Structure formats: structure tokens, C-alpha cells
Amino acid sequence: MRAWEENIRKVIPYVPGEQPKQKNVIKLNTNENPYPPAPGVRRALLRFSDFSYDNLRKYPDPTADALVESIAGYYHLEKDQVFVGVGSDDVLAMAFLTFFNSSKPILFPDITYSFYDVWADLFHIPYERQPLDEKFRIVKSDYEKKNGGIIFPNPNAPTGILMELDEIEEIVKQNQDVIVIVDEAYIDFGGISALPLIEKYDNLLIVQTFSKSRSLAGMRVGYAMGNKTLIQYLNDVKYSFNSYTMNQIVLAAASEAVKDEAYFQGTRKKIIETRERVKKELKKLGFSFEDSMANFLFVTHEKYWARDIFEALKRSHIYVRYFNHPRIDNHLRISIGTDEEMDRLIAFLREYLEERKEQGKA
Ligand code: PMP
């Protein structure tokens, strides 16, 4: 190692799911929404290019006021209870930097969003992973020990398992000396948000995103909601890092995604219905899984290795996610696509498993 390399901040980065270049793939590997964003988003983008193109000379509004106002309005909050960022990844990274500043370890599940340990390492935050039980459930009592903060997704990822609201409240209540972050990236697919609890607990931060239920992963919009002191601290860190995180185009268009409630409810419902149907089909094929309340299923097969299935799927241009991590290396995470995409996945799996069975006999 060269001398200058010794003092470099070295990190093992988060590995995002693949974004294949070729067309005609069935992409079920990054929990994107298979339906387009609300039509109002497109109209706002066209309006922007027709009437506000010249404005790109200028910096955007550093407070992202228009977007903050829409989110606050949607959730019946004050504007100073909302923080926005470049996807919830940006919001979460800022929250780690702002709130997890203790010498005591922060706590999160051993199987969870694999960005948490990356941020903790990057910011030199000590952490301890708390093992999920054998059914992949968060064990509430593991979060009652001394700690420097808590974070978990609800529903958890990649398991999709939802934690009941009273259990979440219990964790927040037991930990009022630290900040508890609930990452609700997938809450709109059948869960109940812990948002109302922010009025009762000033140590609770709820993080959500436009990437999943609002079909805007490509626009990068995430937000946090909590009491105004928490939001103020988050903004102080943001302004010490980069004042202009949200660009003008995002500010002009993203609000439209929360305005069209009928469209939102429609796509949400379709995804939930498809998920429930696919659960039945996969069961018939010998897959097992815990009940997911997210826009993905986390499955394992009773006879065949997940990795083999993953590779076979990929060879036929169906992308799902495989994690080569302890405890979950025989699982696949399958995002819920359109009905047609899921039918093609199921047809492929049926044929593949049939072939394997024949080979086994031969
Ligand atoms: N939290 C969880 C649990 C996720 O799975 C994801 C998606 N990768 C995110 C946060 C971040 O999503 P985004 O940055 O697109 O809002």
C-alpha cells in the first residue's frame, strides 16, 4: 500500500441491484413500481421544459419549499415537520450522520436493508446487529438494551415482514433517550404507518420514499417526518453538506405524485392484488415464504437452490435479487411486477422445476 493510501477513508460500498442495459428483460430485482408515475408528473415535466427551461441557469430553492409543502399537506403536518432528500437513501444517510453520534452502538436487525452497516462504517458509528428469529421476525426485546439509536424498516427488507404498530410503539417508548428511525420505504403496500406516533414521541423519525408506491425511483425523492426539532437538526447537517440537494425539475414535478390520490390508490391496489395471487401460485410450485406486506416476496424452494434458480432466471432475462449473505443465501427476493410479467415468471419457474424433476429421475 502506498503511503498516501493509508489515510484514505476506505469503505466497502453498498451494492445496488443490477440495471440491465438490454431491453425486453423482466426486471423484478430492485422493487421498482411496474406502473408509470401519476400522469400529472408528465404534465409538470412538459410544462417545465416549455416554460421554465431558462430557470435552469439559477440554483433551485434550497428549502425545496414546494415539495415540502405538498408532502406536509398530504400527511396533515406542518412544513417544519418534513425533510426531503435525494431518495430515502440520502435522507437516511443524513439521518445517520445527524442522529447517530454516540459511543454506544446503534441497533438494527441482522437481516435488513444492507445500506445500514455501510453508512455506519462510513461515518464510524458503532453498531450491533440484532438477530431476527427463525421466522425472520424482529425480536422486540433485543431493542431494550443500552444503545446509541435504533433503525429498522417496516415492513423489513428483504423479508417483507410487517411489525405491528403496538410493538413499534413499545420500542420507541423503551428508547426515549435515543432517536428511533422507522424506514417505511414499503409501508404503502399494506402496512400501517407509525407516523401518528410522531405527535406522541419526539424521538421518532419516519422515513418514506417516492421510489416504490409512487413510481418515481428514477427521480430520487425521499422524505423524513418527525417533530420540528429533529427536522431542524437534519437540515443543519444537510446545509453543512450540500444546500441544493433537490433540483428544479424534481421540485417542479414530484409534488404531482402526491396530488393524484386516485391514481396512487389504483396502482397500490393492483400491486397488492398481484402479490396475493403470486403468493398462491408460488406456493403451488413448492416455494415457501413468510407473509410479505411489501412489493416483493422473499422466497425459498423446498428442493432447489436459490442461486441455481436465480441464474436460470437471469439466463432467460428475468432478473430477481439474490443475496449471498449468511442466513439468506438460499432465498430470492422477487419484486411484484405487472400481472403479465408475473405470469411469465411463474410459467418459467413451472417449466424449470419440471425439467429439474425430470433430470433428477434420469
Ligand atoms: N429503505 C429500504 C428498506 C429500501 O429497500 C430502499 C430501496 N433500495 C431504500 C430505503 C431506498 O430507496 P430510495 O433511495 O429509492 O428512496
Give the cell for residue 244.
Answer: 441544493
Give me ligand 1 centre to Cα 356, in Å.
35
Atom of ligand 1 nearest to the CA of 212: 15
The answer to whether 45 and 252 are in contact (CB under 8 A) is yes
For the chain, what is the domain count?
2
| pLDDT score at 250 | 97
What residues line ligand 1, using a CB cutoff of 6 Å? Answer: 87-89, 113, 153, 157, 183, 185, 209, 211, 217, 222
Give me ligand 1 centre to Cα 254, in Å.
17
Matching residue, cell 420505504: 185
Matching residue, cell 452497516: 117
Task: Give the distance, in angstroms, between the CA of residue 221 and the centroid of all CA atoms in the same chain.
Answer: 12
Residues 219 and 105 occupy one common structural domain: yes
pTM for the whole structure = 0.97
| pLDDT score at 1 | 85
Atom of ligand 1 nearest to the CA of 211: 15
Give me ligand 1 centre to Cα 178, in Å.
23
| pLDDT score at 9 | 92
Side-by-side strand order, sheet with 127-130? 82-85, 222-225, 204-209, 180-183, 150-153, 106-109, 127-130
DSSP symbols for 142-174: GGSS--S-EEEESS-TTT-PPPPHHHHHHHHHH
Q: Which residues pair with 224 in a beta bridge?
A: 83, 207
Residues 186 and 124 occupy one common structural domain: yes
Residues 159 and 299 occupy one common structural domain: no
Domain boundary among 259, 281, 306: 259
Residues 33 and 43 occupy one common structural domain: no
Residues 212 and 323 occupy one common structural domain: no
Give me ligand 1 centre to Cα 160, in Å.
13
Residues 245 and 289 occupy one common structural domain: no
Residues 306 and 168 occupy one common structural domain: no
**Residue 79 forms part of a structural domain:** yes
| pLDDT score at 23 | 87
Q: Whose CA is nearest to atom 8 of ligand 1?
A: 30
Residues 237 and 355 occupy one common structural domain: no
Atom of ligand 1 nearest to the CA of 153: 3
**Residue 6 forms part of a structural domain:** no
| pLDDT score at 301 | 97
**Residue 9 forms part of a structural domain:** no
Residues 251 and 278 occupy one common structural domain: no
Q: Whose CA is nearest to atom 1 of ligand 1?
A: 185
Q: Which of 115, 184, 188, 216 to mutate to test the pocket of ligand 1 (most atoms within 8 A of CB)?
A: 115
Give the cell for residue 350.
Answer: 413451472
Report the CATH number at residue 109. Answer: 3.40.640.10
**Residue 350 forms part of a structural domain:** yes
Give me ligand 1 centre to Cα 21, in Å.
21
**Residue 219 forms part of a structural domain:** yes
Return per-residue pLDDT of the chain as tens, 362 residues: 899 999 999 999 998 988 999 889 999 999 999 999 999 999 999 999 999 999 999 999 999 999 999 999 999 999 999 999 999 999 999 999 999 999 999 999 999 999 999 999 999 999 999 999 999 999 999 999 999 999 999 999 999 999 999 999 999 999 999 999 999 999 999 999 999 999 999 999 999 999 999 999 999 999 999 999 999 999 999 999 999 999 999 999 999 999 999 999 999 999 999 999 999 999 999 999 999 999 999 999 999 999 999 999 999 999 999 999 999 999 999 999 999 999 999 999 999 999 998 988 76
**Residue 284 forms part of a structural domain:** yes
Structural domain including 241 reads 39-259
